[in-house]
Amino acid sequence: MKVGLVGLPSAGKSTLFQLLTGAAPPAGGRPEARVGMARVPDPRVDALARMYNPKKTTPATVEFVDVPGTAKGEGAALVDLPALRNVDALVHVVRAFENEMVPHPDGSVDALRDAQVLNLELILADLGMVERRLEKLDQNIKKLRRPEDVAERDLFARLKDNLEKEQPVREMALSEDDRRKLRNYALLSEKPMLLAVNLDEKTIGGAAAFLEKSGLVAWAAAGSGRGVVAVAAPIEAEMAQLSPEDAEAFRADLGLTEPGLDRLARASYALLGLVSFLTAGEDECRAWTIRANTKAPQAAGAIHSDIERGFIRAEVVSYEDLMAAGSIAACRDKGTLRQEGKEYLVRDGDVINFRFNV
């Protein structure tokens, strides 16, 4: 899974990237796109590790791409960034904190305004690309008269009409065949988008109320493929310097039950309809990322293509049943360990052992 971090200047995007991935601050000069990996916290993996005491524990991960801040009128530049072409989703870091040392480029902090500004920049960037493609198709049709060019021109003409109405591609009524044709174009407004609202110490404790009052929740809910989550990069940066115990006490003082970075990583994961199945043993306890409603053989392929090719069956128990029973042997005795075949749809939290033969 690959997620692009975008945002207006001074939103705290690069700070958030560094906290998520542990990457060092960029060197001097014009910042370039940076890539880093972030863990998706999963208490289930930790609990399995305590049960099995494995040599290795591996959580699911999200790959984040941090791109330079995008000011008004600069959205078109995002289309040409190779680092953003293959991302699965966008996280828009929205500034909602006050800081006299870091003035807002527009002179005031307005999270809803900024969310709408960048959303429009993505739409305008796509519109420019669509218009260029239409020009190329018109030339091809005059020269070659290929039916596939005529069909593609019809699709892009519909895109142009809707983009001019400020409708993102993700919200358009397109067929699966249409969306398949668009995959190579990496349209930015087609990608699911999560608003990561960057709050300060005064507001993070009442984040839910702030998100409602600001209009961000209603705005996100009004469109498909949009979500919203609260973070506080300045506070997370402070807590990163503390011991786990002190950080937990600091978090409790703010009325927080978990790190905002954990919420962000999980929300990014959920935005794309991803789930985790688990494997456990003395060698490794691990979470594996798949799309929801993936069949057992394809889930096995996430581990290795040989397991998918030689799939025989899956031995499955839910995480909750395994924890309640205390061991796979006890699950077998209780009848909660199931034998599933090729049509089984793997569920989030399934603990699976695949039987295969190649």
pLDDT in tens, 57-68: 999 888 899 988
| Phi, psi of 124, rounded to the nearest 5 degrees | -65, -35
Question: In this predicted structure, what is the pLDDT of residue 182?
Answer: 93
279-334 pLDDT, tens per residue? Answer: 999 999 999 999 999 999 999 999 999 999 999 999 999 999 999 999 999 999 99
Question: In this predicted structure, what is the pLDDT of residue 358?
Answer: 85
**Strand 89-95 relative to strand 350-356, pairing:** unpaired
Q: Per-residue pLDDT for 257 more than 80? A: no
Q: What confidence category does residue 28 fall into, taking pLDDT thresholds of 50, 70 and 90?
A: low
CB of 121 closer than 8 Å to CB of 224: no
Nearest residue to 113 (alpha-carbon basis) of 135, 94, 100 = 94
CB of 69 closer than 8 Å to CB of 11: yes
Give the residue ranges of DSSP H helices in 58-146. Answer: 76-79, 82-85, 111-144
Output the average pLDDT for the chain.
90
**Ordered structural domains, the chain, with CATH:** 1-41+60-273 (3.40.50.300), 293-356 (3.10.20.30)
- Arithmetic mean of pLDDT, 143-154: 88
- Arithmetic mean of pLDDT, 239-244: 83
Question: In this predicted structure, what is the pLDDT of residue 39?
Answer: 85
Q: Per-residue pLDDT for 205 more than 90? A: no
Q: Per-residue pLDDT for 29 more than 80? A: no
Q: What confidence category does residue 27 fall into, taking pLDDT thresholds of 50, 70 and 90?
A: low
Task: Give dist(CA 294, CA 342) in Å, integer.
Answer: 10
What is the share, in percent, of the chain residues with pLDDT greater than 90? 60
Single pTM value for the model: 0.84
Give the length of the chain.
358
106 vs 178, more confident: 178
Query: How many Cβ atoms are within 10 Å of 181's Cβ, its own excluded?
Result: 16
**Strand 274-279 relative to strand 311-318, pairing:** unpaired
49 vs 270, more confident: 49
Task: Give dist(CA 37, CA 119) in Å, integer.
Answer: 25
